[in-house]
Amino acid sequence: MKALTLKAPGGLNNILVSDIADPGEPGPGEIRVGIGASSLNFHDLLVANGSIPTEDGRILMSDGGGTVEAIGEGVTEFKVGDSVVSCFFPQWPAGSADASVGTFANTPGDGINGMAAQFVVRHQNAFTLAPKGWTHAESATITTAGLTAWRALVVDGKVKPGDTILTLGTGGVSIAVIQIANMLGAKVIITSSSDEKLERAKKLGASEGVNYRTYAQWSDKVLELTDGKGADHVIELGGPGTLEQSIHAVRVGGHISLIGVLTGRSGEVPTALLMAKQARLQGLVVGSRRNQQDYVAALEANQIHPLIDKTFAMEELAAAFEHQTSGSHFGKICVEW
Amino acid sequence: MKALTLKAPGGLNNILVSDIADPGEPGPGEIRVGIGASSLNFHDLLVANGSIPTEDGRILMSDGGGTVEAIGEGVTEFKVGDSVVSCFFPQWPAGSADASVGTFANTPGDGINGMAAQFVVRHQNAFTLAPKGWTHAESATITTAGLTAWRALVVDGKVKPGDTILTLGTGGVSIAVIQIANMLGAKVIITSSSDEKLERAKKLGASEGVNYRTYAQWSDKVLELTDGKGADHVIELGGPGTLEQSIHAVRVGGHISLIGVLTGRSGEVPTALLMAKQARLQGLVVGSRRNQQDYVAALEANQIHPLIDKTFAMEELAAAFEHQTSGSHFGKICVEW
Amino acid sequence: MKALTLKAPGGLNNILVSDIADPGEPGPGEIRVGIGASSLNFHDLLVANGSIPTEDGRILMSDGGGTVEAIGEGVTEFKVGDSVVSCFFPQWPAGSADASVGTFANTPGDGINGMAAQFVVRHQNAFTLAPKGWTHAESATITTAGLTAWRALVVDGKVKPGDTILTLGTGGVSIAVIQIANMLGAKVIITSSSDEKLERAKKLGASEGVNYRTYAQWSDKVLELTDGKGADHVIELGGPGTLEQSIHAVRVGGHISLIGVLTGRSGEVPTALLMAKQARLQGLVVGSRRNQQDYVAALEANQIHPLIDKTFAMEELAAAFEHQTSGSHFGKICVEW
Amino acid sequence: MKALTLKAPGGLNNILVSDIADPGEPGPGEIRVGIGASSLNFHDLLVANGSIPTEDGRILMSDGGGTVEAIGEGVTEFKVGDSVVSCFFPQWPAGSADASVGTFANTPGDGINGMAAQFVVRHQNAFTLAPKGWTHAESATITTAGLTAWRALVVDGKVKPGDTILTLGTGGVSIAVIQIANMLGAKVIITSSSDEKLERAKKLGASEGVNYRTYAQWSDKVLELTDGKGADHVIELGGPGTLEQSIHAVRVGGHISLIGVLTGRSGEVPTALLMAKQARLQGLVVGSRRNQQDYVAALEANQIHPLIDKTFAMEELAAAFEHQTSGSHFGKICVEW
């Protein structure tokens, strides 16, 4: 079968379309899934470009949507023909994060082989059902970006109707944030360097857009838009380069979901302001399998589909990553067989 | 009556023993309290030394323990003779922090006149009952340092028996952390630059002490003491100068209470590590009046008294602050009439 | 001024349109409100018909919407001309319930004089701002019925998008439940004895309706509608007469908000089933002032207005109660000057 | 090997000491445990006496303490020689209860074979480490009674230092409640029909004892002991026969853990009082595997051992059940090989 593998030491030109052994039939507790599509995240890019070292020949990609082709003995959650979506942390069933999710050792496309293959055989815990009526490409966006947004808002943030959420940029997580906020009756302020993207975000349901080229001190604009109070929740996708303003923009007693490493791994933080605001800075990495099941239920109930910027053929994965690094996208980039 | 007031622009030599007008009888909803004692906190020092500007003639000190001398019409919570302790945020009855507690505008000894007076008349919401059998000096330690420790561990941290807490230094908050952790069946690792202080902390109930002079990379020692797992909760009293190691020392999914500004107001923070650890960095400033009532109930039920390093006469407040800045103390410094 | 007062020992024929003294100007911390409307709840009926004894001459009604006419010294939250809505528990600012809200001693229209007057003067804590653009009759529905629904779903129930809520009947609380569930992306199953009312509920946003005349064992129908799993949340408005089926209808680990006393004060409950389901039965009575502020923010952000069945003149309050007892209404019944 | 099996249709005289096939070597993910002891719970009794039907030849008992004798491929949590304790719900790793724990289909000694055998081979998820230095009989008390008490107080109840807990009777759960409450700095009021047992409970750390023979209306005594306020938490072990008084005895906003079925499966409940008190009645059945790991950590950190009333030889299991039904015990009854 075909798979997209990474030749050590990585780099987009080391992404190969390989012909590797079929994984065969599922053993006890396992399912065989025909993968239809994957979607791209910053974490996948860091593995692909070699920033996160992985072993030679690693099958890439954490996200996978597909169809169950066979089930092993004792599998109760799935039947043949079910549409499913992969889990970022197959070893995390439910509950809060602990040491077992402190690394990517069990994450497909990083510590273990990923979803950029025609077929995978995995324990049933490595997948959940996908929303009914979704394409595999749509489903694939759930694994990383969608579940990250869900956890930030619902699991950690406990957003209420009427709350104001600030999200940074118009990538896949931010777009999912708008959609989930709409489900929740919350308002969204979004930032971008492009007025055109801000307009698109408002059409999707954002209440306000702030162009951070126009307003270098965009956090002041957020305060102005919230009558001086600040946002209840900030989805901090930038990292240290934006965190100072995010702390400035959050309300007293507010919540900041710390997700991004786009601008670096470390930086100057106004700790006294974070303290004075009695705000919470919550680091998070995706979520548990049960979180994913809850998110799928929410998507089905609300009939919401993800926004896909562009879909490439799986074999063009390197080109898809180049599109991602260009920063011109709005929403998710997918690849499919 | 006598009061300790601060002549603008502050500085320990501008602390005056003044003779000012008696506050008189309590109006509706008010109580008149004969103040017996106060205790010193870093925040009081910042006001006294002029780092936090305040108005000329401000009566100093947030903490106050005393006896109810008269009650106004409609006062139901107190009766004459009750021992009481002042509240840091009289305007914060219960619930989570919001904009009303984003400044010190209503905090005694900062935005309003403080407790370093022979008598005060305040709304009954500005006090709670003190633990039965405590001296006024002991009670005064609750307002700021004690309640900060309680909130960090119980309200925000939700510490369970068996959890491991790391606390930094041997000041008043850290000592209260040890005592509350003992109530809670949790273990404490404490840091200090003095082996002698570490020994005293262990006698009080700390499980382990780490001398940060001996172990410059003290967070490694904390990891070693927790079988590589890290502390469940970190009471971060240092500020930016210690936060990097605190993040290194906390477990995956753990909790860091951000309290301290001792080492500055801003600094380099390893945000990617905080994210990867899925840890929470929670800024906090003392707590609500109901938190204080809960803490008083816990102290009474567990028959625990605070550790007072030294008590000065109220008139010697400047000398008490000098003792505080020397850093030689262990536990709380108090002043009393 | 005019007010609707209750002559002891109560009864609808003892509701009088009285001419009583104007409350005058607001004192410190107080506001004077020109009341425009009130709305009817089961609790108001129990006071009016004498089931809950109250003192002779009591001004009726807990709910009040009106306009601020004057503000006392130190009032910061309101200005003249603001539209406001009264609080059911003026003494409950925030946080969880405690002894102070264990009785109706401070509830307008029960322990103290109510809102069925042309003017009231109260402490500013007895009101919150009303949603912008609402009529006073609409705002009045928030105090009791609306806030009860909000607390059940948001504060206690922590409903997530995709959850399924079961609510009983089509009174004011149930209709608010549908509207809040819509904000939250949750599904609603509603019961009624009238197919016509079920149709109206579906038009408002309910997903499913169950006629409990058609399905005497309506809980089985709920299980069927949830693939055998049960509802995540049950808004139990019936009391002991419906609780057995509500427990049957809730999912394992689910939540039941216990609100109703319509069918009595005590009854047979399948406690072993509640235990086996590991479900939570949460008693609640309205909520705190901060809950009300949050709810108002949610209503404004989502541009949702309450459903008013019929509005009577205030002087026709007895007729309004008779309409309520007929059970023919759908949504809220209001009275206005 | 030997095992205690139940001949259909159950009854204590149908408990057989059987010679059955050794379970052999562990497969992938499995461990082989040499069982040293079990302990008795009401649920085990209901299976043994036939009240809960089970299949002919079922190996009895949910609780098991023993030593790991061999580990299968891929087992990472245990090594040979580890002392371990069985899980009541092997399929419940963490998080809140859902449909998967709505029955006893996967519970040892009920839906599947239990721990009353010399050896068992199970997936590693069916055990956790036992506290260091505990006997197998002591460890066995954790599975059901100990974990139930832990969940009620810590997981569901979120008991704080200074809280007051009311627990009913002096069985295994109640004694564990006292011990955990002591860890937590909380006070315990305990009921019994025996003054002698009340004295023993006080020696263990209970603050107050109420003899329900002396005080038929024992809830009034609880109110008196709490200055009229009521208990913060009630551990309701009796069932419908005691629930009315438990609701009477809990404070406004308090928490009742509904555990017991001793007095029946259904009964009269004062629902209006539960509502007016805004109290929570939380059904629970033991807890998750992570709860058990947390409890073991707490026991180790606090050096607390369970109170064992009497230990029988495993072969005398029927006699042990007879001792249990006599009601004369105080603490746990164990059986060991």
Q: What is the percentage of chain B residues whose pLDDT exceeds 70? A: 100
| Nearest neighbour of B184 by CB, restricted to D184, D294, D297 | D184
Q: Which chains form contacts with chain D, at 3 or more CB pairs under 8 Å?
A: A, B, C
| Nearest neighbour of B278 by CB, restricted to A265, A270, A284 | A284
- Distance, in Å, from the CA atom of C321 to the CA atom of C37, rounded to the nearest integer, reads 15
* Nearest chain A CA: its distance from C14 CA (Å): 42
- Give me the total of CB pairs closer than 8 Å, taking one residue from chain C and one from chain D: 134
Q: Tell me what pLDDT residue A261 has.
A: 78
Chain C residue with the nearest C-alpha to that of A184: C184
- Give me the total of CB pairs closer than 8 Å, taking one residue from chain A and one from chain D: 17
Statement: residue C284 has pLDDT above 90: yes
Average pLDDT, chain C: 97
* Nearest chain B CA: its distance from C95 CA (Å): 4
Q: Give the pLDDT mean for B305-320.
A: 97
- Spell out where chain A has E strands: 2-6, 15-19, 30-39, 58-59, 65-71, 83-86, 119-123, 127-129, 164-168, 187-192, 208-211, 231-236, 250-258, 267-269, 280-283, 308-313, 332-336
Chain B interface, mutation test: which of A104, A236, A277, A278, most B Cβ atoms within 10 Å?
A: A278
Q: In chain D, which residues have their Cβ closer than 8 Å to the Cβ of C275?
A: 258-261, 283-285
CB contact under 8 A, A269 and B240: yes
Q: Tell me what pLDDT residue A333 has.
A: 98
CB contact under 8 A, D183 and B187: no
Q: In chain C, which residues have their Cβ closer than 8 Å to the Cβ of A185?
A: 183-185, 298, 301-302
The SS3 call for residue A236 is strand
**Residue among A39, A37, A6 nearest A321 (CA):** A39
Q: Tell me what pLDDT residue D262 has.
A: 76
Q: In chain B, which residues have their Cβ closer than 8 Å to the Cβ of A252?
A: 97-99, 101-102
- Distance, in Å, from the CA atom of A105 to the CA atom of A110, rounded to the nearest integer, reads 7
Interface of D with A (CB under 8 A): 93-96, 98, 288, 290
Interface of C with D (CB under 8 A): 96-99, 101-102, 229, 239-240, 243, 251-253, 258-261, 264-285
pLDDT tens for B100-133 read 999 999 999 999 999 999 999 999 999 999 999 9
Q: Tell me what pLDDT residue B239 has.
A: 86
Give the largest CA-CA distance in chain D: 60
| Nearest neighbour of A161 by CB, restricted to C160, C162, C301 | C301
Chain C residue with the nearest C-alpha to that of B288: C95
Chain C interface, mutation test: which of A154, A160, A293, most C Cβ atoms within 10 Å?
A: A160
- Distance, in Å, from the CA atom of D193 to the CA atom of A153, rounded to the nearest integer, reads 51
CB contact under 8 A, D252 and C99: yes
| Nearest neighbour of B283 by CB, restricted to A260, A275, A283 | A275
CB contact under 8 A, D275 and C266: no
Q: Tell me what pLDDT residue D239 has.
A: 86
Interface of A with D (CB under 8 A): 93-96, 98, 288, 290
Considering only B259-263, B274-278, C30-34, D129-133, which range has the smallest mean pLDDT? B259-263
Q: Is the sign of the CA dihedral B289, A162, C147, C153 positive or negative? A: negative
Q: In chain D, which residues have their Cβ closer than 8 Å to the Cβ of A96?
A: 94
Q: Within a 10 A sphere around the Cβ of C28, how many other Cβ atoms?
A: 12
CB contact under 8 A, A283 and B280: yes
At B264, the pLDDT band (50, 70, 90 cuts) reads confident
Q: In chain B, which residues have their Cβ closer than 8 Å to the Cβ of D163?
A: 297
| Neighbouring residues of C225: CB distance < 8 A, sequence distance ≥ 6 | C189, C208, C210
Q: Domain residues of chain B, as ranges?
A: 2-141+306-336, 149-283
* Region B2-141+306-336: CATH code: 3.90.180.10
Chain C residue with the nearest C-alpha to that of B27: C28
Q: Which residue has the tokens 């006599």?
A: D326
Q: In chain B, which residues have their Cβ closer than 8 Å to the Cβ of A274?
A: 258, 281, 283
| Tokens of residue B321, six digits | 């602050």
Amino acid at A324: Q
Chain D residue with the nearest C-alpha to that of C266: D270
| Nearest neighbour of C160 by CB, restricted to A161, A187, A298 | A298
CB contact under 8 A, C301 and A158: no
Chain D residue with the nearest C-alpha to that of C259: D275
* Nearest chain A CA: its distance from C297 CA (Å): 5
Amino acid at A197: K
Name the strand (E) or helix (H) holding C201.
helix C195-204
| CA distances in angstroms from C142 to A203, A253, B232, C37, C157, listed in the order given | 31, 25, 42, 12, 18
pLDDT tens for B184-204 read 999 999 999 999 999 999 999
pLDDT tens for D24-67 read 999 999 999 999 999 999 999 999 999 999 999 999 999 999 99
Q: Give the pLDDT mean for B139-148.
A: 98
CB contact under 8 A, D290 and A93: no
Statement: residue B262 has pLDDT above 80: no
- Distance, in Å, from the CA atom of B263 to the CA atom of D34, rounded to the nearest integer, reads 55
Chain B interface, mutation test: which of C128, C289, C290, most B Cβ atoms within 10 Å?
A: C290
Interface of D with C (CB under 8 A): 96-99, 101-102, 229, 239-240, 243, 251-253, 258-261, 264-285
Statement: residue C180 has pLDDT above 90: yes
Q: In chain A, which residues have their Cβ closer than 8 Å to the Cβ of B271?
A: 239-240, 243, 258, 261, 264-267, 269
Q: Tell me what pLDDT residue C260 has.
A: 78
Q: Tell me what pLDDT residue B265 has.
A: 87
| Nearest neighbour of D301 by CB, restricted to B161, B298, B300 | B161
Q: In chain A, which residues have their Cβ closer than 8 Å to the Cβ of C252?
A: none
Q: Tell me what pLDDT residue A182 has.
A: 97
Q: Tell me what pLDDT residue C263 has.
A: 78
Statement: residue C331 has pLDDT above 90: yes
| Nearest neighbour of C161 by CB, restricted to A158, A187, A301 | A301
Identify the segments of chain D with pLDDT beneath 50. Answer: none
* Nearest chain C CA: its distance from B223 CA (Å): 36
Q: Tell me what pLDDT residue B181 has.
A: 98
| Neighbouring residues of B320: CB distance < 8 A, sequence distance ≥ 6 | B40, B310, B312, B333, B334, B335
Q: In chain C, which residues have their Cβ closer than 8 Å to the Cβ of D284?
A: 275, 278
Chain B residue with the nearest C-alpha to that of C291: B95
Task: Note down pLDDT in tens along chain A; length 337 residues.
Answer: 999 999 999 999 999 999 999 999 999 999 999 999 999 999 999 999 999 999 999 999 999 999 999 999 999 999 999 999 999 999 999 999 999 999 999 999 999 999 999 999 999 999 999 999 999 999 999 999 999 999 999 999 999 999 999 999 999 999 999 999 999 999 999 999 999 999 999 999 999 999 999 999 999 999 999 999 999 999 999 988 999 999 999 999 999 999 977 778 899 999 999 999 999 999 999 999 999 999 999 999 999 999 999 999 999 999 999 999 998 999 999 999 9
Average pLDDT, chain B: 97
The four Cα atoms A289, A127, A185, C256 give a dihedral, to 10 degrees, of: -60
Q: Give the pLDDT mean for C136-152.
A: 98
Statement: residue C261 has pLDDT above 90: no
CB contact under 8 A, A290 and D93: no
- In the sheet with C15-19, reading across from the earlier edge strand, the strands are C15-19, C2-6, C58-59
pLDDT tens for B66-94 read 999 999 999 999 999 999 999 999 999 99
| Tokens of residue A123, six digits | 């324990």
Chain C interface, mutation test: which of D281, D284, D286, D291, most C Cβ atoms within 10 Å?
A: D281
Chain D residue with the nearest C-alpha to that of B160: D154
Q: In chain A, which residues have their Cβ closer than 8 Å to the Cβ of D96?
A: 94
CATH topology of domain B149-283: Rossmann fold (3.40.50)
Q: Tell me what pLDDT residue A57 has.
A: 98
| Nearest neighbour of C161 by CB, restricted to A162, A163, A183 | A183
pTM: 0.97
* Nearest chain A CA: its distance from D1 CA (Å): 28
